[in-house]
């Protein structure tokens, strides 16, 4: 076996270096993919965007304005250096800078995603822990079956369908909550719920399963042999060890939740990036799509980074093990 003599601090440096390298690679891939998107579209994106009836001179002028006639490498250089200056290009439809568009729309999306994520965590972790404790060692088969079935069904309903069902029930039938927009405080409830229910169901199941498998570990028996109160055995000894897997999967779900806002925003006419990107795709406003895809991608990368750092803090072995 390896006697790890090194101090904890020294494990952090390689971890940080590795993680930074991965982040930069991913960023590069993302930027390149976003850049190439316009060029991978079959045919002429400007022609596609302006329509078949547009006079050739207009198309040519627009192409020149967008720099599409330059060699690919030059375009790439302009694109990347522009990003460093905070320039995302100009919308083909409105003629305004895409950066302004993003600046307008991003906050609403971030707020919605964060709210939904908080709901997920606050609901899923306690529910998962309680279910694990109640069904430990094959007790309460009925409760386990009910929990599993309900969570499977809830998890399988896509957020936009749930959103439709919620709107139809609470906004249309009962009329207690607004059907769209984000003006009133009440208008946050349904979108956040639509986004949170599925991931919360999945996460609660993961927490339960992980906690149950951790409870089978030798060190939990050690904790019980110390006759610690059950609360300490579950919360201090078992839960942190269950959280590593939970967090890994939870991070992926948070990333998916970021993407899920696209659909939910469209149901609730939420003034965020999600409703913008769909409109831009339909109008073939490629610079806008490019910019928004980039923002979503960076959002996902940031979520992954935060999760990795949290994992390393929570489980000191993961910084070493990963190598």
Contacts (CB under 8 A) with other proteins, residues 99-138:
136-138
Segment 243-282, which members bind other proteins (CB under 8 A)? 252, 255-256, 258-260, 262-263, 266-267, 277-278, 281-282
User: Can residue 217 be called a binding residue for other proteins (CB under 8 A)?
Assistant: yes
Q: In whole angstroms, what is the distance from residue 51 CA to residue 44 CA?
A: 10
Q: In whole angstroms, what is the distance from residue 234 CA to residue 211 CA?
A: 8
Q: In whole angstroms, what is the distance from residue 173 CA to residue 170 CA?
A: 6
- Report yes or no: 144 and 130 within 8 Å, Cβ to Cβ: no
Least distance in angstroms from the C-beta of 79 to other proteins = 16
Name the token pair of 54. 């547009």
User: Can residue 40 be called a binding residue for other proteins (CB under 8 A)?
Assistant: yes
User: Can residue 59 be called a binding residue for other proteins (CB under 8 A)?
Assistant: no
- Report yes or no: 312 and 8 within 8 Å, Cβ to Cβ: no
- Report yes or no: 140 and 147 within 8 Å, Cβ to Cβ: no
Q: In whole angstroms, what is the distance from residue 189 CA to residue 182 CA?
A: 10
Segment 133-172, which members bind other proteins (CB under 8 A)? 136-139, 149, 152-153, 156-158, 160-161, 164-165, 167-168, 172
Least distance in angstroms from the C-beta of 48 to other proteins = 8
Q: In whole angstroms, what is the distance from residue 288 CA to residue 93 CA?
A: 9
Least distance in angstroms from the C-beta of 160 to other proteins = 6
Least distance in angstroms from the C-beta of 283 to other proteins = 10
Least distance in angstroms from the C-beta of 57 to other proteins = 25
- Using CB under 8 A, pick the residue from 52, 73, 185, 225 that binds other proteins: 225
Q: In whole angstroms, what is the distance from residue 124 CA to residue 199 CA?
A: 8
- Report yes or no: 238 and 254 within 8 Å, Cβ to Cβ: no
For other proteins (CB under 8 A), the number of binding residues is 76
Q: In whole angstroms, what is the distance from residue 59 CA to residue 50 CA?
A: 7
| Interface segment toward other proteins; rule CB under 8 A; list 12-20, 68-76, 88-96, 314-322 | 314-322
User: Can residue 17 be called a binding residue for other proteins (CB under 8 A)?
Assistant: no
User: Can residue 14 be called a binding residue for other proteins (CB under 8 A)?
Assistant: no
In the bound state with other proteins, the residue whose beta carbon lies nearer, of 61 and 184, is: 184
């Amino acid at each position: 076996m390896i006697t790890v003599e090194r101090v904890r601090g020294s494990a952090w440096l390689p971890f940080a270096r590795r993680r930074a390298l991965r982040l930069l690679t991913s960023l590069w891939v993302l930027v390149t993919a976003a850049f190439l998107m316009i060029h991978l579209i079959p045919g002429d994106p400007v022609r596609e965007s302006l329509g078949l009836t547009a006079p050739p001179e207009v198309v040519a002028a627009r192409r020149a304005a967008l720099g599409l006639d330059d060699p690919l490498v030059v375009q790439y250089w302009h694109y990347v250096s522009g990003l460093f200056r905070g320039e995302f290009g100009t919308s083909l439809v409105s003629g305004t800078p895409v950066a302004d568009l993003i600046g307008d729309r991003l906050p609403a999306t971030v707020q919605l995603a964060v709210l939904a994520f908080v709901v997920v965590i606050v609901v899923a972790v306690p529910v998962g822990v309680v279910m694990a404790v109640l069904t430990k060692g094959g007790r309460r088969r009925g409760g386990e079956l009910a929990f599993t079935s309900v969570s499977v069904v809830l998890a399988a309903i896509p957020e936009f369908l749930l959103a439709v069902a919620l709107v139809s029930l609470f906004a249309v039938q009962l009329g207690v909550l607004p059907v769209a927009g984000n003006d009133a405080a009440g208008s946050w409830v349904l979108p956040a719920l639509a986004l949170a229910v599925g991931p919360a169901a999945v996460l609660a199941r993961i927490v339960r399963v992980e906690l149950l498998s951790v409870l089978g570990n030798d060190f939990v028996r050690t904790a019980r042999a110390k006759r610690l109160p059950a609360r300490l055995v579950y919360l201090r000894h078992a839960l942190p060890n269950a959280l590593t897997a939970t967090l890994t999967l939870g991070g992926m779900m948070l990333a998916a939740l970021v993407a899920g806002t696209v659909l939910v925003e469209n149901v609730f006419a939420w003034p965020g990036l999600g409703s913008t990107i769909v409109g831009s795709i339909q109008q073939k406003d490629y610079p806008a799509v490019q910019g928004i895809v980039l923002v979503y991608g960076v959002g996902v990368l940031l979520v992954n980074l935060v999760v990795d750092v949290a994992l390393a803090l929570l489980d000191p072995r993961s910084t070493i093990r990963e190598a």
